[in-house]
Amino acid sequence: MITKKYKKNYLEEVIVRADFASPIFKLKNSLTRPIEKKIISYFPVTDIVNTIKINENIKLNEWNFYGGNREKYLKISQNCLIIDYNKYSSFEILKNEFLDLINQLINLEPELQLKRFGLRYKNVIKFNGKNPTNWDKFFNKNLISIFKIPKYKNEITRAFSNLSLKSGDVMLTFQYGMHNPDFPLTIKKKIFILDLDAYTDKLIKGDKDIEYFLENFHSIIHDMFENSLDEKLRMDLNND
C-alpha cells in the first residue's frame, strides 16, 4: 500500500512490541553474541541489565539499549521485544530494524510464536492561539464535534474520546482529543492528541506472518490518521 508522506510530523512516540507465547529460555541469563551484535548495530548505547523479581523463585533479566542520541530505546528479555522511538523517521526504518531483530530471535528459537503484537503512534499536535479549543479545518469535523456541545467553550477542562475497532484479526484503539496537561483547570494550551494503537492477540509464527501483520497495523493506522485530518493541518505537515 502507498501511504501519504509529509515533510514533518508531530509524533511524540512510536512503539512496536512483540510478546512471546513462550519464554526464550536461551535468553534467560544472557544475550547470544549474534543477537547482541545485531542490536548494537542499531542501538549502540547499552544500559545496565535490569533484573525483575517475579516472585521468590523467578527472576527475569531485561537488557536495555539506546540509539546514539537516545532517540530510540530497545528492551529485550526472554518474554518480549520492544522498540520505542521518540524521534521517528519512517516506517521503512522501523520495519527494517524490527524484522531484522525478530529474524535473529527466530534463528535462535525456530518455533517462536507471538501471543500479542502491536504498533502504536502517538501524535501530540501543538499550536499557539487565543481559542485553544477551536480546531476547525485542522481535523475532520466529526472528530471535533465534542467542542460544539458546551455553550461556553472556556469552561472545558478536558475533551477526550476513545474509539475501538476490529478489522479481521486486528484491533485498533484510537484515543483522541484534548487531554489537557493542566487538568482540572480549564484548557489554556492548544494541544490535540491522536493516539493510534493497532494490535492482535492472534498467535503468530514465522517472519512472513509477522511482517504481514506489521504492515497491516501501519496501513490501518495510516488510514485512520488520514481520515482525521483537514486542510489546515495537512498544509502545516507539508511545511518544513
Regions in the chain scoring below 50 on pLDDT: none
Q: Is 85 inside a domain boundary?
A: yes
CA 77 to chain centroid: 19
Quote the pLDDT of residue 129.
80
Q: What is the pTM of this model?
A: 0.93
Q: Is 3 inside a domain boundary?
A: no
Q: Is 92 inside a domain boundary?
A: yes
> Whole-angstrom Cα distance, residue 105 to residue 204?
14
We report the CATH number of the domain holding residue 94 as: 3.30.310
pLDDT digits (tens, 9 = 90+) for 171-209: 999 999 999 999 999 999 999 999 999 999 999 999 999
Q: Is 223 inside a domain boundary?
A: yes
| Contacts of 41 by beta carbon, 8 Å cutoff, 6+ apart | none
Q: Is 79 inside a domain boundary?
A: yes
Quote the pLDDT of residue 29.
86
Q: What domain range is 38 assigned to?
A: 11-237
Sign, CA dihedral 58-24-97-114, equals negative
Q: Is 5 inside a domain boundary?
A: no
Q: Is 77 inside a domain boundary?
A: yes
Q: Is 6 inside a domain boundary?
A: no
pLDDT digits (tens, 9 = 90+) for 17-42: 999 999 999 998 899 999 999 999 99
How many domains does one find in the chain? Answer: 1
In this structure, what C-alpha cell is assigned to residue 50? Answer: 535490569
